[in-house]
């Protein structure tokens, strides 16, 4: 399988349109040691005709257009996108679904709670039902591998998937009434994909309230993990927000209890940070924080990065 990083930044992208933090100002000015990044988007391709999107970023349309392997072939209406997996109902994860509204039958995999938030709290997404046949939603089962492709193409895929519950932070736009009705464990999931004896694990948000993800990340050939914030108080100290990283569902990278310490040398494969917020100092390739991450054996995802397994 081939994993392609179409976008590697957190919500807002890098630079963010209304942000003049030191990182955004420098990348806007063309500093050579910072790379612009679009909002986090990953695609897993089994072969040229069978690709799965991991989330649907707000930048999805331009990300698809700049990726030849996602171009349509043969008939007037066609896409190699066999399915879309949603790891949460965050705007960063679901907004791109509206860029897929051109009457294309699609398969979307999510927890029942994320499906309810998308369809009940945001009726605009029902635009996807105009396709013939309409978009099909599939519940991702817990604690079991499931095979892909059967629904989309009529033939079983060689790719298997497994959902791992990660925590209980629902987006703040969800109404209090619905939030109370939803089981906490369906808010944020990680995804393991396996083909043969190769495995990847994707978790762009780690709320840090369970440890099951460590086993999945540690046993994978490649893990793509939450690189959103360097410090828990990064949004406050840079003057762009009032909440801590933990309060909005992200485990910080540095310090006691941070990702670098929590997930050290126990893994066997490549460990890559993704979903990097524009305030994060690791985006500056000359910063001590960038060096610290690299010295600890981590890679930092960039737009266009390709991983073959
Ligand atoms: Zn910024």
Q: What single string gives the DSSP state of each residue in 138-156?
A: EEPPBSS-EE-SHHHHSS-
**What distance in angstroms lies between residue 280's CA and the mean position of ligand 1's atoms?**
9
178: nearest Cα among 112, 240, 225: 112
| Sign of the alpha-carbon torsion through 246, 13, 45, 118 | positive
Asked if 22 contacts 65 with a C-beta cutoff of 8 angstroms, the reply is no
d(CA 189, CA 93): 12
> How many Å lie between the centroid of ligand 1 and the Cα of residue 155?
45
Closest CA to 84 of 62, 113, 115: 115
Separation of CA 53 and ligand 1 centre (Å): 26
The alpha carbons of the chain give a radius of gyration, in whole angstroms, of: 19
Under a CB-based contact definition with an 8 Å cutoff, are residues 300 and 227 in contact?
A: yes
In this prediction, residue 150 carries a pLDDT of: 63
Nearest 5°: the CA angle 65, 70, 72 is 90
Distance 107 CA to ligand 1 centre (A): 34
Residue 264 has a pLDDT of: 75
- Interacting residues of 67 by C-beta distance below 8 A, sequence separation 6+: 4, 6, 43
Ligand 1 mean position, distance from CA 17 (Å): 8
> Measured between alpha carbons, how far is 227 from 10 in angstroms, rounded to an integer?
9
Distance CA 270, CA 67 (A): 24
pLDDT of residue 71: 94
Give residue 224 CA to ligand 1 midpoint distance, Å. Answer: 22
Q: Where are the beta strands (DSSP E) in the chain?
A: 2-7, 41-47, 50-54, 81-85, 107-110, 136-139, 146-147, 160-167, 188-195, 198-203, 222-226, 270-274, 298-300, 306-308
**pTM for the complete prediction?**
0.95
Could you tell me which of 194, 225, 269, 250 has the C-alpha nearest to residue 42?
A: 225
Residue 195's pLDDT is what? Answer: 94
Query: What's the gap in Å between 167 CA and the centre of ligand 1?
Result: 27
What per-residue confidence (pLDDT) applies to 254?
96
| Distance separating alpha carbons of residues 248 and 271, to the nearest angstrom | 23
Going from the Cα of 15 to the center of ligand 1, the distance in angstroms, rounded, reads 6
**What distance in angstroms lies between residue 215's CA and the mean position of ligand 1's atoms?**
33
Structure tokens given for 39: 């909002």
CA 25 to ligand 1 centroid distance, Å: 7
Our CA dihedral for 247, 86, 15, 222, rounded to 10 degrees, sits at 90
58 Cα–ligand 1 center, Å: 17
Per-residue pLDDT, 152 = 56
Query: Ligand 1 centre and the CA of 37: distance in Å?
Result: 12
| Stretches in the chain below the pLDDT threshold 70 | 150-155, 265-267
Centroid of ligand 1 to alpha carbon of 20 (angstroms): 5
d(CA 229, CA 93): 18
The per-residue pLDDT for 157 is 85
């Amino acid at each position: 399988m081939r994993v392609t990083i179409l976008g590697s930044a957190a919500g807002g992208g890098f630079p963010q349109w209304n942000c003049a933090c030191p990182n955004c100002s420098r990348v806007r000015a063309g500093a050579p040691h910072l790379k612009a990044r679009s909002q986090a988007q990953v695609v897993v391709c089994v072969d040229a005709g069978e690709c799965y999107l991991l989330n649907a970023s707000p930048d999805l349309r331009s990300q698809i257009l700049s990726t030849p392997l996602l171009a349509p072939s043969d008939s007037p209406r066609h896409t190699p996108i066999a399915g879309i997996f949603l790891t949460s109902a965050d705007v960063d994860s679901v907004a791109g679904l509206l860029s897929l509204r051109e009457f294309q039958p699609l398969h979307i995999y999510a927890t029942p709670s994320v499906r309810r938030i998308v369809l009940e709290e945001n009726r605009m997404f029902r635009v996807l039902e105009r396709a013939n046949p309409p978009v099909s939603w599939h519940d991702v089962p817990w604690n079991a591998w499931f095979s892909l492709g059967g629904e989309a193409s009529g033939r079983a895929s060689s790719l298997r998937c497994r959902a791992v519950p990660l925590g209980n932070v629902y987006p703040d736009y969800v109404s209090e009434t619905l939030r109370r009705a939803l089981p906490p464990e369906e808010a944020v999931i990680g995804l393991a994909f396996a083909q043969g004896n190769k495995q990847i694990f994707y978790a762009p948000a780690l709320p840090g309230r369970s440890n099951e993800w460590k086993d999945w990340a540690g046993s994978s050939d490649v893990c793509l993990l939450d690189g959103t914030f360097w410090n828990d108080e990064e949004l406050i100290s840079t003057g762009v927000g009032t909440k801590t990283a933990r309060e909005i569902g992200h485990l910080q990278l540095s310090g006691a209890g941070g990702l670098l310490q929590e997930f050290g040398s126990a893994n066997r494969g490549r460990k890559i940070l993704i979903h990097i917020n524009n305030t994060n100092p690791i985006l500056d390739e000359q910063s001590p924080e960038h060096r610290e991450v690299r010295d600890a054996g981590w890679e930092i995802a960039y737009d266009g990065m390709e991983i073959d397994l």
